[in-house]
Chains A and B, each alone.
Chain A
């Protein structure tokens, strides 16, 4: 079955700098890769997702890149702000044959003022 690994587990960046979180997946049939942000004590929120027919997707300060050959995808946050501090999770699934999202272990992003 699918396995998703996420790195780093903790990331501390200066406010205004960029942050990059990386995930690798094992099942080459996976075709949907969402990213979630979870603030302390709150529900996960979908912030961006990408499907396997696309290599990159951007939404304002957030972007996701996908390398299908290497089976990894990354979340990029530019011009980080204090409100970006949270735990970020990646996930993967094959939407054609599976209804189960497999999640990474999470990255705690700390924005230093």
Chain B
């Protein structure tokens, strides 16, 4: 079991560009949550996907959007990148919702 996998591991983008991050959940899990973790801070909940729908959303602007595919994998899209979007983006998977027991290794996004 590969656990939760994310790609890419690192990414550098220019301000104003768009980015897509990917997450494959742990085998048997149907729920994917995305978090943004700025340096030195705790993870902030972006949204959660279940049954291919956004089930709950945190306090993030519409520039952040996502998708879940029938195989439960998920994408996070960020449009019109800002310098402040630089962070570690974490994906967590679970069966039906919390507890978030399994995280991916994260994607380190740097916006220049």
Name the residue of chain B whose CB is nearest to the CB of A102.
B45
Total contacts A-B at CB 8 Å? 56
CA distance A49 to B102 in the complex (A): 13
Does residue B55 face the partner (Cβ distance < 8 Å to A)?
A: yes
B99: chain A residues at CB < 8 Å are: 32, 34, 46, 49, 95
Q: Which residues of B from 28 to 43 have beta carbons under 8 Å from A?
A: 31, 33, 40-43
Q: How many of chain B's residues touch chain A, expressed as a range? A: 20 to 34
Q: Which residues of A from 6 to 23 have beta carbons under 8 Å from B?
A: 6
Q: How many residues of A contact B (CB 8 A)?
A: 22
The answer to whether B98 and A32 touch across the interface, beta carbons within 8 angstroms, is yes
Q: Which of B43, B48, B102, B106 contacts A99 (CB 8 A)?
A: B48
B103: chain A residues at CB < 8 Å are: 43-45
B102: chain A residues at CB < 8 Å are: 46
Does residue A93 face the partner (Cβ distance < 8 Å to B)?
A: yes
Does residue A42 face the partner (Cβ distance < 8 Å to B)?
A: yes
- Closest chain-B Cβ to A52's Cβ sits at a distance in Å of 13
The answer to whether A44 and B43 touch across the interface, beta carbons within 8 angstroms, is yes
The answer to whether B105 and A34 touch across the interface, beta carbons within 8 angstroms, is no
The answer to whether A95 and B100 touch across the interface, beta carbons within 8 angstroms, is no
Q: Provide a sorted-by-A list of 18 A–B residue pairs whose CB atoms are within 8 angstroms.
A: A6-B42, A34-B99, A44-B103, A46-B102, A49-B99, A89-B42, A89-B43, A91-B42, A93-B98, A95-B99, A99-B31, A99-B50, A99-B97, A99-B98, A100-B58, A103-B43, A105-B42, A106-B41
**With A44-B43, A95-B99, A99-B33 given, can you name 17 additional A-B contacts, CB distance below 8 Å?**
A32-B99, A34-B99, A34-B100, A42-B105, A46-B101, A98-B98, A99-B31, A99-B97, A100-B48, A101-B33, A101-B43, A101-B45, A101-B100, A104-B42, A105-B42, A106-B40, A106-B41
Residues of A with Cβ closer than 8 Å to B?
A: 6, 32, 34, 42-46, 49, 89, 91, 93, 95, 98-106
